[in-house]
């Protein structure tokens, strides 16, 4: 769903998109080529809709931190050894005061997770492949829908640039 300004807002279920279109609150920008039929009317199945009114987005929401999102950010790879990740590791263990925050969680494989235990990185010979950070750009979207349809990309570019400038710097 795009804002009246074409800024991408969120992903909504198809049914919700149709309701907004039928209520004349949004227009179909891109349809799937399929149609929904009821007794009296048929509606193209929307893939991208644009609101007729402008929604004010006060701040760019920080992506919700959950297991699925961490795996998406880290491409399902253990951030210590590159193996297939199966768990979430707190870089600074929670027992040592580590926060449950994007900057302190990484995807990890079971052996690395077990090997690290509640030690600090400096107390091990392990190394992170990159410093964990708050995901930017399209990660939240990929997490929401699993994968982004190719024809969405042209509508997402404004988001990518907006996210780069509007995401608050890491504390």
Binding-site ranges for Zn ion (CB under 5 A) = 78, 80-81, 83, 109, 112
CB of 85 to Zn ion, least distance (A): 7
CB of 75 to Zn ion, least distance (A): 13
Cβ burial of 37 (10 Å; 0-12, 13-18, 19+) is exposed
Closer residue to Zn ion in complex, CB, 111/149? 111
* Buried/exposed code over 133-149 (b: 16+ C-beta within 10 A; e: otherwise): ebbbbbebbebbeeeee
Rounded to whole angstroms, the Cα distance separating 105 from 90 reads 5
Closer residue to Zn ion in complex, CB, 83/92? 83
8 A C-beta contact, residue 69 and residue 23: no
Closer residue to Zn ion in complex, CB, 105/109? 109
8 A C-beta contact, residue 45 and residue 12: no
CB of 20 to Zn ion, least distance (A): 45
CB of 116 to Zn ion, least distance (A): 9
CB of 101 to Zn ion, least distance (A): 21
Closer residue to Zn ion in complex, CB, 56/130? 130
Closer residue to Zn ion in complex, CB, 83/144? 83
* Region of 39 on the Ramachandran plot (φ > 0 left; ψ -120 to 50 alpha; else beta): alpha
Long-range contacts of 57-61 (CB under 8 A, 24+ apart): 57/3, 57/7, 57/9, 59/166, 60/162, 60/163, 60/166, 60/167, 60/168, 61/140
């Amino acid at each position: 769903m795009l804002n009246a300004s074409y800024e991408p807002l969120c992903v909504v279920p198809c049914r919700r998109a149709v309701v907004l279109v039928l209520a004349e609150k949004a227009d179909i920008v891109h349809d799937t080529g399929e149609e929904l039929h009821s007794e009296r009317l048929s509606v193209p199945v929307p893939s991208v809709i644009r609101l007729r009114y402008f929604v004010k987005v006060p701040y760019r929401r920080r992506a919700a931190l959950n297991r699925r999102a961490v795996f998406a950010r880290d491409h399902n790879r253990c951030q210590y050894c590159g193996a297939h990740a199966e768990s979430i590791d707190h870089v600074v263990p929670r027992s040592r005061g580590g926060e449950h925050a994007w900057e302190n969680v990484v995807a990890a494989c079971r052996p690395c997770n077990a090997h690290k235990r509640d030690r600090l990185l400096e107390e091990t010979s392990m190394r992170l492949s990159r410093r964990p950070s708050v995901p930017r750009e399209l990660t939240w979207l990929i997490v929401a829908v699993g994968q982004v349809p190719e024809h969405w990309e042209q509508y997402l570019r404004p988001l990518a640039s907006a996210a780069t400038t509007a995401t608050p710097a890491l504390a």
